[in-house]
Structure 1
Amino acid sequence: MTRPCPSCGEQLADAAAFCEACGAQVGAADADLAGGPGGVKPPVVAGEAAPFDATFPTRIAGSARAPSGPRPCLACGGVVGPDGYCDSCGTKQPDERDHFREQPAPWVAGVCDRGLVHARNEDALALHAGDTAAGPRAVLVVLDGVSNTDDSHLASLAGARAARDVLRATLPAGLGTAQSRTAAAARLFQQAVDAAQAAIVDLTPDGSEHPPSATFAAAVLEGGRLVVGNIGDSRVYWLPDAGTPSQLSVDDSVAQLQIEAGMTRREAEEGPQGHAITRWLGVDAPDLEPRLCELDLDRPGWLLACSDGLWNYLSEPAALAERLRLAAADAGADPMAVALALVAHANASGGHDNITVALARVSPPPGHNAPDHARGPERESDG
């Protein structure tokens, strides 16, 4: 059975995913983009990704300012045609899974990019923003698919979205005490990890010898309250405009164990096991309890969640804060422009891994004068 390419008319095998003549994406994605079998296109929520097709992830994300319609050219901002080329400058655009962006609010944005070396983008992000009685609310979720496993690019995206959907809920207050509040937040983050795990397991191919797996990092900001959870070596940083920048997450990695044993950060992270993780999500995961950190913010700054594609070049909080400061000096407080600048820096530094940057511009509510220190339970790596 054959059918014509919707872009150039070339006859294609019925099961083809790409047109070999023009390079257009076809196959399962066509029905989704055209409105599906019933002719009704699934709704797209402004600033969040279109519904994910595990068979062929094409329509990934859109800006809050442009949730649907033609995507912009990454080179000149023109309109990208159905053949994947810019109608204005003619630049061939990357597949939307290779580079996508989300901006659910003007103060929250993220970029996920393939980098320059890997054949596909196995990173994923999922964002949410809104308002609560406690103040503005943001959810940043980053999953980094492990590159030597099957279908990790599918699993990481499904897992990120599943975790984001759980973390939309308002942070629980517990019984009103600090201890019960922290315990209640821990339960919510555990539910998010469990949801991400279930999504990854659902996409694990039958009989896979290398089942998909991914790291996990998530941050929920609600007013001046911040809760962070992670498994693996994707990270969350707090980069205040004034004060000491800090890495809030603690890696589950061989490098972290070496650092704890006395090795310098640089020696450990640049060593032969610098990116070997000791915990992850997936059917063969050794442990699914996230490390947690809780922080009260009392000053403006930037909340950043990222994969190792960025921190590989800017691991130290001070170095990352300085690079972000330079980007913000050019872009102002626009988190999308700053995220793009950080991705560009990682690519200019070699782009050896997929790169994900999720940012929230933080302005604590007036009168929020909590101390600037981390607290809460923290779980040591299982090694």
Structure 2
Amino acid sequence: MRACPEHGPPPSPEHRFCEVCGRNLVTGAAVPVPTVWLSSRAGLACLSCGATGSEMYCDNCGRRRSVGRDHAELDLSGAAAVTDRGRRRPRNEDAVAIARYDGGLVSVVCDGVSTSSRSDAASHGAVEAGLAALLDALTTGVDPAEATTLGAHAAAKAARAAAGPDESDTPPSCTYVSGVVTADAVTVGWIGDSRAYWLGAEPACLTIDDSIAGQLAAGRPAPATVEADPTSRALIRWLGADSEDAEPQVVTVRPGGEGRLLLCSDGLHHYLSDPAELTAAATGSPIEAARHLTAVALDGGGHDNIAVAVLSFPTSSSVASVAVSSFAVGGGSTA
């Protein structure tokens, strides 16, 4: 009689599937985990009339909704996310998503470019499309690095699609960073200045800002078309209808021990950017770490929207009995 490695033998030797998790006891194959996720677009109240809904414009009064919530958070086993409007912005233009799939954990963070119109529409569209494409690729066996590229391409397409016919001068735009955590590796991809950090032994920033200052600090030449001010944080790459380069930079690392992957918008790393200090601050469970890092940014002044995602490493390679969950929630960069 075959037995499930997690739940033991079936009640009857004739049973071919585990009654608890559905594993095929003949082939040993686990049941595919559905990629179901929730978005903060749903149930948002119109600030003008109070009616709730999920569309960009209120069905009752016609006013445009704020796409993101002022504050939202999710506690998912092994991962957590928090976003906050901050103290000075009129709306939250950041978006963050986290998900769990059969092979590990996934997250996407987008930061709306505050100088563009409706940047919250770009960031949420990019997060939702990026996460969906990442999960679709990963659950069909695509390598995390290739899946990361596919996710960024889908996000770029969604950000371009957010532009309206009268927004050619300042179309909705955002930055993008994604992370995939598996049992033995961490893969990140980015466009813009949202960052990924490894928190643990030998902490490090895994991304290089797509800004003039970021490129020059990393020893890379600034584009010849812009003035190379070494202190300028102006973006040289982003997602949107006016973006000329939507190809992500992708990095894969294989940590030698336990730790965490942190993805964040500049609403956090403006105040706390040192990898060792971030590691020291990200204590407790993932949700406790995400809440504390958000509080650090708010206590520092909260000049921008904040988005933080914390993913544990390593992750179990077998989570077939755990339902997949994810969450998209609604800072702003300057171009």
Partner of residue 148, structure 2:
189
Q: 1:268-321 CA deviation, whole Å, 9 max, x = no partner?
A: xx9852x31110000111201100101123311111100001011111211211
Which of 143, 151, 156 is the equivalent residue of 2:118?
151
Distance 1:116 1:321, change over 3 A: same
| Structure 1 residue 161, shift from structure 2 partner | 1.0
Asked whether 1:357 is paired with 2:308, we answer yes
| Structure 1 residue 195, shift from structure 2 partner | 1.3
> 8 Å contact 2:97–2:109 — kept in the other structure?
yes
1:65-76 superposed matches below 5 A: none
**Aligned to 1:343, what secondary structure does the other structure show?**
helix
| Structure 1 residue 235, shift from structure 2 partner | 0.5
Partner of residue 74, structure 2:
102
Q: 1:14-35 CA deviation, whole Å, 9 max, x = no partner?
A: xx9435xxxxx53xx53x3xxx
Partner of residue 16, structure 2:
none
* Total equivalences in the alignment: 260
Q: 1:246-267 CA deviation, whole Å, 9 max, x = no partner?
A: 11111111111231359xxxxx
One-letter amino acid of the counterpart of residue 164, structure 2: P
RMSD: 2.8
Asked whether 1:229 is paired with 2:189, we answer yes
Which of 279, 285, 291 is the equivalent residue of 1:340?
291
Partner of residue 281, structure 1:
239
Distance 1:155 1:252, change over 3 A: same
Q: 1:201-249 CA deviation, whole Å, 9 max, x = no partner?
A: 2221212121011100000112222211000000011111xx2101111
Asked whether 1:116 is paired with 2:94, we answer no
One-letter amino acid of the counterpart of residue 315, structure 1: S
* TM-score, normalised relative to structure 2: 0.70
One-letter amino acid of the counterpart of residue 291, structure 1: Q
Which of 53, 65, 71 is the equivalent residue of 2:55?
53
> 8 Å contact 2:161–2:241 — kept in the other structure?
no
Asked whether 1:310 is paired with 2:268, we answer yes
Larger relative contact order (C-alpha < 8 A, sep ≥ 6)?
2
**Aligned to 1:169, what secondary structure does the other structure show?**
helix
1:1-383 superposed matches below 5 A: 17-19=46-48, 26=50, 29-30=51-52, 32=53, 52-55=54-57, 97-103=69-75, 105-132=76-103, 137-169=104-136, 171=138, 184-208=143-167, 209-240=169-200, 243-261=201-219, 273=232, 275-324=233-282, 328=283, 332-333=284-285, 335-363=286-314
> 8 Å contact 2:265–2:306 — kept in the other structure?
yes
Distance 1:249 1:261, change over 3 A: closer
Distance 1:118 1:247 in 2: 27
| Structure 1 residue 107, shift from structure 2 partner | 1.5
> 8 Å contact 2:73–2:83 — kept in the other structure?
yes
* TM-score, normalised relative to structure 1: 0.62
**Aligned to 1:215, what secondary structure does the other structure show?**
strand
